[in-house]
Amino acid sequence: MSEPTDASAGGVPGPRTAPVSSPSAAPSARPHDGPDADTSQTGPGTSSAAAATQMRYVDLTGSREAAGRSIRLRDMARRLPQLVRRSLALAWQVDRRATIGLLLCQAVTGVMQALGLVAISGTLTALLTGGDVYDRLLQAWPSVALLAGAAGVRALLSITVSWLSSRLGPLMSREAEHMLLTGCVEAELCAYDDPDFNRAREAADRGAQVTGDLINEGQDLIASSASFVAGALVLAGVNWMLLPLLIAASLPQALAQISAARVRYLANLRSNGDLRMLSVLRWHIYTKDAADQIRAGTMSAFLSGRYRETVARINREDRAAADTGARMSLVGALCGGLGSAIVWSAVVLLLANGRISVGHAGTAVFALQTVGQSVRGLVAVGARAVRTGLYMDDWSSFLDKAGGFRMRRGPRRLEPPKTIEVTSVTHRYAGKDRDALSDISLTLRRGEVTALVGYNGSGKSTLSRLICGLHLPTSGQVLWDGVPISEADPQALWQQVALVPQDYARWPLTVRENVNLGQPTARGDAAVHEACEAAGADEVVGTLGAGLDTLLAREWLNGEELSGGQWQRIALARAFFREAGLLVLDEPTANLDPRAEFRIFQRLRELARDRAVLLVTHRITNVAVADRIVVLDEGRIVQEGTYAELAQRPGMFQRLLSYQVSSTERGRR
């Protein structure tokens, strides 16, 4: 799903950030493009420092910074059980047997650890008591056998745990990603224009990626807890005073580790804007899309320079975090060493006072090591797991609300429409300070072709998206046979829509799937061939080696690349294939040669017989095919009528027509 993101650079999900300035929009339809993914263009003469500032992002809400600062021992203790529960719940969802296996293995490992320590105690006691060496060895061997058996079983269990975890981890990540994709398609289309949604989605994406880590972290936590309990029980059996003493001695090291984890997390957070910028730069540099323009525009030095500047800033943050973390760990280790010296002194004191036997003292040595190691493990893995949990919070909160944009429309199932009425519709995009459409009213009818014309930015595509029910209007209504689209079941409504947008998708699928969009009809390939013929795509299919089975993705083995116009024919075939009551063509012939364009417009009247057709085009002479022409200017309808009427009437349509006619004439001269 994703273009490479922060992950490879060790990054973190997006904080609630906003651009410092408003960078220009990156090309649309790229993964991770959103307002955050914009790249600023630096004009000539702009200093690189200024450009770098322009391209950085700041955390406006500070919510993730606050979350990062909350990595403290208290918060960790509160959150760790939740995290283990969450990881087990997801693991249970993807593979129950493996989850049960893991839990059993962990439980048995804990028991084996305790048995091992008991066996050490038995061995030492037997060996250190007085008497004949042979007798002592004879007494010790059951304990030695138990020790060896417990160690062997633990080794086997550890292999099983890592096998099961490595099976579960990827499954969990993929399931989390699948849930994220479902969340995305359940969001309203307008969500993609909202910076908050884009940020929430990117953060959730990182959360989905790290979900698999949680199973390992959860397992490490359970393992450390089990070995802590086993060691603590044995230690308390030797002398209960040793246990609190050991925990107190481990505390400084634990605190140092948590502080170091917090420093690293916050450093990642500060680099977040740069990490995002890196992923955008990487995407543009190594994919094919801009490869020709990077070369022809001699941009490689500029882009590499920008890449290096960004990497240098990230490196500086990383270095500072590593240095601070190392200093903290050093202080923690010194305090930990001092603590250990106190604990060992206590053991010696107890032994000297005769309060514990030599055998018990030996057992205490091993138990102390076990408990000390497990406390350090708990803290280290705990800090990591809490960090992972922060990312997973982003993921699960996105799933709950689809970033706050979950589609909630009505249940009414629509039939192919006889009329579509737009009544007093005004629409404004999120974050914009002016309306894209103001007070629009018009009616589309089955059997009619309606054309929308107007200058760039006049609102034609916006209006066509509203008519298709892709956006809901800010005010006013779009009614399909009297039913407001907000009350209609969106999936049933879109079954009735055949849309060729300006930027149509070039699916890396076979020709057949590119036309039927994965929804074949009972007529099978015959219907696909018919749609291809209507769109002039039959000529394209004829040149492809594997016909409808040809994969339209050159970069993959056996794939084929199509020209811009050939792709447009496929996109048109897609729309003609759909048995829908509304056909919307937004600049359908922009890439077509005159012969192909002629064929399409010839077919249009025939297609309109049993559906409503909406045509958006800048080629004014083509709109003669329409029954009615609606002229838009700055989001308002300024003229309406037939071609003959509008061509005679002074106004915008005449002006648009005169520009086209005079440019054609200039071309002839």
Nearer to ligand ATP, 252 or 459 (CB): 459
Q: What is the DSSP letter of 625?
A: G
Total residues in contact with ligand ATP, by rule CB under 6 A: 13
How far apart are CB 646 and ligand ATP at their closest, in Å? 18
Beta bridge partners of 628: 450
Give every CB contact of residue 545 below 8 A, 6+ residues apart in sequence. Answer: 560
Q: Residue 170 interacts with ligand ATP (CB under 6 A)? A: no
Q: Is there a contact between 99 and 91 (Cβ–Cβ < 8 Å)?
A: yes
How far apart are CB 616 and ligand ATP at their closest, in Å? 7
How far apart are CB 420 and ligand ATP at their closest, in Å? 18
How far apart are CB 2 and ligand ATP at their closest, in Å? 21
First to last CA, the chain: 51
Nearer to ligand ATP, 194 or 274 (CB): 194
Give every CB contact of residue 214 below 8 A, 6+ residues apart in sequence. Answer: 83, 86, 87, 90, 172, 385, 388, 389, 392
Q: Residue 461 interacts with ligand ATP (CB under 6 A)? A: yes
Query: Within a 10 A sphere around the Cβ of 352, how many other Cβ atoms?
Result: 10
Pairing status of strand 57-59 against strand 17-19:
antiparallel
Nearer to ligand ATP, 318 or 634 (CB): 634
Ramachandran sector of residue 402 (left: φ over 0; alpha: ψ -120 to 50; beta: rest)? left
Q: Residue 458 interacts with ligand ATP (CB under 6 A)? A: yes
Range in contact with ligand ATP (rule: CB under 6 A) among 110-118, 180-188, 239-247, 453-461: 453-461
Judged by CB under 6 A, the residue of 460, 512, 529, 578 near ligand ATP is: 460
For 260-280, b/e burial (b = at least 16 CB within 10 A) is bbbbbbbbbbbbbbbbbbbbb
From residue 409 to residue 448, the character string flagging contacts with ligand ATP as x (rule: CB under 6 A) and all else as - is --------------------x--x---x------------
How far apart are CB 591 and ligand ATP at their closest, in Å? 14
**Cα–Cα distance between 279 and 8 in angstroms, integer?**
9
Nearer to ligand ATP, 417 or 454 (CB): 454
What is the layout of strands, in order, in the sheet containing 612-616?
Answer: 497-500, 582-586, 612-616, 449-454, 628-633, 636-641
One-character DSSP codes across 537-605: THHHHHHSTTGGG-BS-TTSTTB----HHHHHHHHHHHHHHS--SEEEEESTTTT--HHHHHHHHHHHH
Which class for 578: exposed (0-12), middle (13-18), buried (19 or more C-beta within 10 A)?
buried
How far apart are CB 461 and ligand ATP at their closest, in Å? 3
Phi, psi of 35, deg, nearest 5: -55, -30
Judged by CB under 6 A, the residue of 68, 207, 325, 459 near ligand ATP is: 459
How far apart are CB 414 and ligand ATP at their closest, in Å? 24
**Cα–Cα distance between 476 and 635 in angstroms, integer?**
14
Nearer to ligand ATP, 72 or 428 (CB): 428
Nearer to ligand ATP, 388 or 458 (CB): 458
Judged by CB under 6 A, the residue of 362, 454, 469, 490 near ligand ATP is: 454
Range in contact with ligand ATP (rule: CB under 6 A) among 338-346, 456-464, 599-607, 643-651: 456-464
How far apart are CB 164 and ligand ATP at their closest, in Å? 46
How far apart are CB 457 and ligand ATP at their closest, in Å? 4
Segment 484 to 513, residues that bind ligand ATP, using CB under 6 A: 502
**Cα–Cα distance between 362 and 348 in angstroms, integer?**
11
Range in contact with ligand ATP (rule: CB under 6 A) among 120-128, 165-173, 411-419, 459-467: 459-467
Range in contact with ligand ATP (rule: CB under 6 A) among 5-13, 44-52, 90-98, 449-457: 449-457
Range in contact with ligand ATP (rule: CB under 6 A) among 232-240, 291-299, 452-460, 493-501: 452-460
Nearer to ligand ATP, 126 or 583 (CB): 583
What is the layout of strands, in order, in the sheet containing 483-484?
Answer: 437-445, 419-427, 475-480, 483-484
Range in contact with ligand ATP (rule: CB under 6 A) among 269-277, 455-463, 490-498, 604-612: 455-463
Q: Which two tokens stand for residue 360?
A: 């018990």
Nearer to ligand ATP, 171 or 467 (CB): 467
Q: Which residue type does 98 have?
A: A
Quote the distance between the C-alpha of residue 630 and its chain's center: 40
From residue 187 to residue 216, the character string flagging contacts with ligand ATP as x (rule: CB under 6 A) and all else as - is ------x-----------------------
Q: Which two tokens stand for residue 463?
A: 């209006």
Nearer to ligand ATP, 266 or 571 (CB): 571
Q: Residue 456 interacts with ligand ATP (CB under 6 A)? A: yes
Q: Residue 636 interacts with ligand ATP (CB under 6 A)? A: no
**Cα–Cα distance between 165 and 206 in angstroms, integer?**
20
How far apart are CB 632 and ligand ATP at their closest, in Å? 7
How far apart are CB 3 and ligand ATP at their closest, in Å? 20
Q: Residue 462 interacts with ligand ATP (CB under 6 A)? A: yes
Ramachandran sector of residue 94 (left: φ over 0; alpha: ψ -120 to 50; beta: rest)? alpha
Q: Residue 634 interacts with ligand ATP (CB under 6 A)? A: no
Q: Which residues here bind ligand ATP, judged by CB under 6 A?
A: 193, 429, 432, 436, 454, 456-462, 502
